[in-house]
Chains A and B, each alone.
Chain A
């Protein structure tokens, strides 16, 4: 009896002292509820229309993380999006092996770390906007299956991380109007982030080989493939419609280069994604500048550049912010470019976003936002301008 009493406290001490907090199960979540209304229906921003709606900015995420032992953990994150009829997707599902304090290896379903906000694109609480500007955040898929390796470093006043990954994305490429079955193979990339005092930088490069089904001629890309073929077959300068008897193609002029037209497909051509970002945050004032470029070997996607610049001020619990963002396509050189110019592919647009975030409790933010979007060119035609009014509540728990 005596020994038992004697042992009990030291066993307890041992239990507390042994691998610090090893068997923890962490459950976290985020929820955004938003409503938005467009002032007219000619343009399209964030899936909104002029009847108002609550669905497009509504997102629920639930994450469970289990520390298996001192070096291994398992994490799963399920995300359900209003814009996707609340179907639920595993955005993340991976096992982490911490090789040491600063080196993590992960395997499974991972978010593609394209740009500054890509990793947490749907966690509204983590940024001031209701949604990151779609001019820059324009890649319509977000996760891949593969492996990544993150090395953290910290020396004096500088700290940061290097992340490299390799994997494959197989799934729907949803442009909002059409859905294509796609396969992004040999998807690989590198992201370098550094923080020094109030400044932060992020540089990243990504590439993938794209295979996409564009055989459905009722889709925009399928129709473009067919038209590109026709333009390539008809002699230079001759009206394609007259030459082929296909009235739908009337007004397009042939370039007489079938091999150029063959570049209008996705049979494993490489696409590259490049990003550079600079952030500043002194506690009161913050700013973000981000430049991105997409370069596609296939001529069916136009190369483009997009960037944003945003500033914000924290005044107590209120954070007013202002952002300018723009995206512009460019044509390939040579015959491919001549064909691209005749297809309804080109877009050029910019937005000004003015918003207010109110942190009314730690973990809950209320946001108001007005976005004026000016489409100079949309799918090769003159665009429209429109204003989107949005409100949202973002919660993390």
Chain B
């Protein structure tokens, strides 16, 4: 019985760690006056439905490259869409001249640097790479 209980715990821990994705942080420049942005607003910015931050300044979202771990987590958690659903969503907007998707801007390090240098840019990175050059406005 005890052994069974023990192995159950191991199984649970194993399951939990394989399910838990690395934590993702949504980041802006330290020069961006916004301090916290809720998930719905982050989603609308990345889907091109709103084009400014809560304080009214222009918001330019940037994506990580196709296939990046952080991008898949961001798409499924914040936007609630698979990559092919998003591709379909954006093709409706691109080919009707109604919008362009966020630019693919590299990995965690590249996104962090672009965000740090421009107060209008908003991106997301694995929380482990966050440092004082950028400001976290949302975490999940």
Contact = CB atoms under 8 A, between A and B. Distances in A.
Contacts of A150: 98
A320 to B, nearest CB: 15
B33 interface: no
Contacts of A61: 95
B44 A77 contact: no
A83 B86 CA distance: 29
B125 interface: no
Interface in A1-60: 13, 16-17, 20-21, 26, 28, 30
B119 A17 contact: yes
B128 interface: no
A79 to B, nearest CB: 10
B91 interface: yes
Contacts of B66: 362
A71 B106 CA distance: 27
Contact of B91 (A17, A120, A317): A120
A270 interface: no
A308 interface: no
Interface string A274-288: 000000000100000
A126 interface: yes
Interface size class of A (residues with CB under 8 A): 35 or more
B117 interface: yes
Given A16-B118, A362-B84, A28 B95 contact: yes
Nearest to B66: A362
A110 to B, nearest CB: 8
A96 interface: yes
B121 interface: yes
Contact of B88 (A65, A125, A317): A125
B95 A159 contact: no
B90 to A, nearest CB: 8
Contacts of A106: 97
B91 A125 contact: yes
B95 A65 contact: no
Given A21-B103, A362-B84, A65 B97 contact: yes
Contacts of A126: 88, 91-92, 95
Nearest to B114: A16
Given A126-B88, A362-B87, A20 B95 contact: no
B95 A362 contact: no
Interface size class of B (residues with CB under 8 A): 20 to 34
B44 A154 contact: yes
Contacts of B139: none
Nearest to B56: A101
Interface in B36-90: 40, 44, 49-52, 58, 60, 66, 80-88
B107 interface: no
B100 interface: yes
B120 interface: yes
B94 interface: yes
B96 interface: yes
Given A20-B120, A362-B87, A92 B103 contact: no
A26 B96 contact: no
18 contacts: A13-B117, A17-B118, A17-B120, A20-B121, A77-B95, A92-B96, A92-B97, A94-B97, A120-B91, A150-B98, A154-B44, A154-B49, A154-B50, A159-B49, A317-B84, A362-B84, A362-B86, A396-B91
Given A28-B94, A106-B97, A365-B84, 19 more contacts: A17-B120, A20-B58, A20-B60, A26-B94, A65-B100, A94-B97, A96-B97, A119-B95, A119-B96, A120-B91, A120-B95, A125-B88, A127-B88, A154-B50, A283-B80, A283-B81, A314-B82, A359-B84, A396-B91
Interface of A: 13, 16-17, 20-21, 26, 28, 30, 61, 63, 65, 75, 77, 92, 94, 96, 101-102, 106, 111, 119-120, 123, 125-127, 150, 152, 154, 157, 159, 283, 314, 317, 359, 362-363, 365, 396
